[in-house]
Amino acid sequence: MKYETVSRLSYTGCVVSPQVQEALSTLSADELVEVRAYIDHTLASTEVTLTEDEQAVILRRSAEMDADPSLGKPARQVGQEILAELARRKAA
């Protein structure tokens, strides 16, 4: 299932419901870090199994990136952009 995004960061292909995205958009950077820590802690004790469709999407996207690296951004760059956006929001 694919949801339309409501993110100001224009994240596409998101599988998070619009309601959750909206709720998260109201949180401060510190609160988002707390949510992430909670999710990380929760997932650490949960076995996550991908469906065949999810595995196929990952393999397809990986092959696309291998064929044309210009399709994406390095993870380090994305992380820096996210942190900069969070800092901008906190300062606003």
**87 pLDDT exceeds 50?**
yes
Q: Report which of residues 27 and 1 the model is more confident about.
A: 27
Residue 86: partners with Cβ closer than 8 Å, 6 or more residues away: 29, 32
Q: What confidence tier does 90 reach under pLDDT thresholds 50, 70, 90?
A: confident
First-last CA distance in the chain: 34
Q: What confidence tier does 2 reach under pLDDT thresholds 50, 70, 90?
A: very low
Average pLDDT of every residue of the chain: 79
The whole-number average pLDDT for the span 51-63 is 88
Chain centre to alpha carbon of residue 16:
9
Q: What confidence tier does 13 reach under pLDDT thresholds 50, 70, 90?
A: low
Predicted structure pTM score: 0.39
